[in-house]
Amino acid sequence: MRRIALWVGAASIAIAQGGPRVTGRVAILEKKGKPSPDLGAAVVSLAGEGGGAAAHPVTVEMAISDKEYVPRVLVVPVGSTVRFANRDPFDHNVFSASDSNQFDLERYGRGETRAHTFAHPGLVRVFCNIHPRMVAFVQVMSGRLFTQPASDGSFVISDVPPGAYTLHVWHERSPEVTRAVRVTAADVVGVDVELDARGFRWVPHKNKYGEDYPTNEGLERY
């Protein structure tokens, strides 16, 4: 097998004989050089000449357990439905104020599931109107060329039509990184991307009424 290594900015692009796919690894720079606990929460996608066809919509679940969304990040095609299953012994109110994908599932209790269908592409930030620290992300994709990395940061996007693309790598704790990628017939293109989470800090959000959450001075009972 003949392999040619190229450099584009900080990304190494390796071309080899084989099927048309884009592979690579996502790494995150952390404060004090700590290991990254959530590489699999990144979203990797290709936008460009051959990525316009949409994938078929799916129905997936994002559970609520111990005041956390599980998984914290989902990536789905446009038209997909996410079921929010409440596994806690108390109420939640799932909502989002994100443009074009706003929704409010109102308050519901243990064992109940409510769902929302995402009709528009974009990043959707999902909160709970009762618990201010609860947050999740749904990336709604208009094309089909996307994936999430494995726990070690490695990823593969298969069946990529030849063409020029922009690789997008998103993670909630880092600015998005993009790379120019060109795929020709039977290429394997490898792109390693490093994100920078050293400047991340938690920023409080508003509740569904656009107001600050009530403070309870640590007296929250559920």
pLDDT score recorded for residue 3: 31
pLDDT value at 12 more than 60: no
All CATH 2.60.40.420 domain ranges in the chain, comma separated:
54-142
Specify burial of residue 91 (Cβ count, 10 A radius: 0-12, 13-18, 19+).
middle
Q: What is the pTM of this model?
A: 0.87
Give the CATH class of 54-142.
mainly beta
User: Where does the pLDDT of residue 127 fall: very low under 50, low under 70, confident under 90, or very high at 90 and above?
Assistant: very high
All CATH 2.60.40.1120 domain ranges in the chain, comma separated:
1-52+149-200
51-74: string of b/e by CB count within 10 Å (b at 16+)?
beeebeeeeeebebeeebbeebbb
CATH superfamily of 1-52+149-200: Carboxypeptidase-like, regulatory domain (2.60.40.1120)
User: Where does the pLDDT of residue 54 fall: very low under 50, low under 70, confident under 90, or very high at 90 and above?
Assistant: confident
User: Where does the pLDDT of residue 115 fall: very low under 50, low under 70, confident under 90, or very high at 90 and above?
Assistant: very high
Percent of the chain with pLDDT over 70: 86
| Per-residue tokens: 36 | 């990254």
